[in-house]
Structure 1
Amino acid sequence: MQMTSLKLKKILDERFQNPDWYTMYNRDKDNFRIEWRSSKQGITITLPNVVAKYNQKGEAVIDELEEHVKEALRIMNEDQQLEGMEKQIFPVIRSTSFPTKTNANNQLIYKEHTAETRIFYAIDLGKSYRLIDQPLIEKEGWSETRIDEIASFNLRSLPVDYKHDRVADNDFYFLASQDGYDASRILNEAFLEEMKANSKGEMAVAVPHQDVLIVADVQNKTGYDILAQMTMKFFAEGRIPITSLPMIYEEKQLEPIFILAKNRPETDN
C-alpha cells in the first residue's frame, strides 16, 4: 500500500510521543515539526520527501528518520563545550549556498574555500555532530584561528584510504570511508601534493557530496567528460550535496571548472 502524507503524519505522531516535545502538522506546507516545549528548538520534516523514499524503500526509511531526528533533538537540548573536546573538532566542507546562521540566528564559524565551497567546523558527537557557532566560541574565549588550527590538525590524522579505478586510460581515486569527513580530506594538502606528484596527467578533484572525495589523474580529453558525468551522478545521489563542479588542482590552488563535452575544461573565474 502506498504511503501518503496523512498516513505518515499519524506514524510520526506515534513515534515522537514524548511529554517534553510538541509536534505539529502544517497542512499548507505539508510538513511535520517536532520541537522541545522548553526551548522551541526543533526539527521540521518535509513529508513528501519522506513519502517518496518510503514508497521506494519501505519501513526502513522511517526507522532511519526517527533515529536521526531523535539524535538531533538530543544534541539540541545539550550544552556542548569545546574545552576537553579538542580531538573531536573537524572541518566540514559545504556549498556556498549552505546557511551561515543557525535556526536560532546564531552566526556559524566558517572560512572561504573556493568559489563553490566553504569550510565550517563541527564537534563530532559520535552518531552526529554540531556545527560550531559564534556564541559557543565566545562563551569559552576561543578564537576562530584556534578552531581552524585544531580542526586542520585533526583532519590530517584521519586515514586517506582510497579505491582506484582506471577508465579510458584515466585514473580515478575514490575516498569514501563514510566517517562524515570524506569531502573534508580535500583540505589535506600533504595528501593532495602526494597525489599530484604521482599524477601522469592533469590532476582534478571533486567533492560532489559530504561522503566522497574524487581525485582524478586526467590523461586525455575523455577523462574530463568521465569526471563531469561521475561528479554529477554523485552530486544527485548525495545526502548532503556540495558541488557538481570538479576543480583543477595546480600550484596548491583549487579552481572550479566547467567541463564542456568533448572539450578542455574552462576555468570558472
Structure 2
Amino acid sequence: MSKMTSFKLKKILEERLSNENYNTSFNRDTDTFRIEWKESKQGISITLPNMVVKYNERGETAIDELEEHIKEALRIMDEEHHLSGMEKNIYPVLRSPSFPTETKAGAKLVYKDHTAETRIFYALDLGKSYRLVDEELLQEEGWTVSRINEIAAFNVRSLSREPKHDRVADNDFYFVATQDGYDASRILNEVFLEEMKANAKGDLTVAVPHQDVLIFADIQNKMGYDILAQMTMKFFAEGRIPITSLPFIYEDKKLEPIFILAKNKPEKS
C-alpha cells in the first residue's frame, strides 16, 4: 500500500466526486478539501490529514466510506425537507456547548440548553444520515421549539434500553451502544434514568463521552470513580462526535457534572 498524502487524497476525491453540478476546492493553508453544490454553495469540508491517518490504517475502505458519506451529505443538502408527516423521525441529539449553533451556510440551528456540559439539538432522521433542524425549517412548518422538543422527547423514550452489563472492581457498569445514532440521546429518557437509579446499590453516575455510547456506572467504592474517569476519557478521545469527558452524578432527578479526583469521591462542578 503506497504512502498516502493530502495531495494524493485530494486528487482521488476530485476523480471520484467528478460531477458537473459540484465545485471542488483545496485550501493549502488548512489542508482541507471542500465540495459544494454550484448553485446553492452548500457543501462540506474534509480535513485531509485526518483521512490520511484513516487510509494508512484501513486502506481503500476508508476512502470508500468517505465517498459514501460525502455523497449522502450532498444529497440531503439538495433535498427539500419537511417536519410535518415526519414526526416519528425527529430525535434529540446531544452536543457539547462548543458545537456550532450555525451551519456553514449561516442557518441558525434549533437547540436547547441541557447541562453545563451538554446541549440538545434536533435531528430529522433521513435513513443513512440525519439533518439538524434549523430555525428556518421550524418557521416554514409553523412549529415552535417546545413542540419539536416534545416530539423528540417522546421519540427518544421509544428507543430500546437494554444495556450490556460489566462488573469491575465490585462496581457495576452498563453500556448502551446500539449504533443507531442516538445512544447518548437516551440520557434524556427520564424513565430510563429513574429505573437505573431505583436499581443502583451505590451512587448512580452517567456519562455521554460521545454520541454513540451511553454509560451508567453504579459506583460502590472509591476505585469505581477512578475507573469511570479513565473509561469516560478513553471513550471521549475515540468518539466520532465527542460530547463531554466529564461524567454526571444523578441525584434528585438532576444531572450534575463531576470532576473525579484520584482515589476520592468527586466534587460537583
Taking structure 2 as the reference length, the TM-score comes to: 0.98
1:1-269 matched pairs, under 5 angstroms: 1-268=2-269
Q: Deviations over 1:57-100 (max 9, x none)?
A: 21111111111111000000111111110000000011111011
Aligned-partner Cα distance in 2 for 1:146–1:27: 44
Aligned-partner Cα distance in 2 for 1:177–1:223: 24
Aligned-partner Cα distance in 2 for 1:106–1:46: 22
Structure 1 counterpart SS, 2:115: coil
> Structure 1: where are the runs of 5+ without partners?
none
Aligned-partner Cα distance in 1 for 2:77–2:181: 19
Q: Is the 8 A contact 1:161 1:177 kept in 2?
A: no
Q: Is the 8 A contact 1:93 1:242 kept in 2?
A: yes
Aligned-partner Cα distance in 1 for 2:154–2:4: 47
Q: Is the 8 A contact 1:174 1:212 kept in 2?
A: yes
Aligned-partner Cα distance in 1 for 2:13–2:198: 53
Deviates more, 1:26-35 or 1:9-18: 26-35
1:28: how far off?
2.0
Q: Is the 8 A contact 1:108 1:133 kept in 2?
A: yes
**What is the one-letter code of the residue matched to 1:93?**
L
> Structure 2: where are the runs of 5+ without partners?
none
Structure 1 segments of 4 or more deviating over 6 A?
Answer: none
**What is the one-letter code of the residue matched to 1:124?**
D
Aligned-partner Cα distance in 2 for 1:187–1:30: 38
What number of residue pairs does the alignment pair up?
Answer: 268
**What is the one-letter code of the residue matched to 1:140?**
E
Structure 2 counterpart SS, 1:181: coil
Q: Deviations over 1:155-199 (max 9, x none)?
A: 101110210000000000000010000000000000110110000
**What is the one-letter code of the residue matched to 2:102?**
K
**What is the one-letter code of the residue matched to 2:185?**
S
Aligned-partner Cα distance in 1 for 2:264–2:253: 24
Identical amino acids, percent of aligned pairs? 73
**What is the one-letter code of the residue matched to 1:133?**
D
Structure 2 counterpart SS, 1:102: coil
Aligned-partner Cα distance in 1 for 2:160–2:6: 42
**What is the one-letter code of the residue matched to 1:240?**
I
Taking structure 1 as the reference length, the TM-score comes to: 0.98
**What is the one-letter code of the residue matched to 1:151?**
A
Structure 2 counterpart SS, 1:113: strand
Structure 1 counterpart SS, 2:249: strand
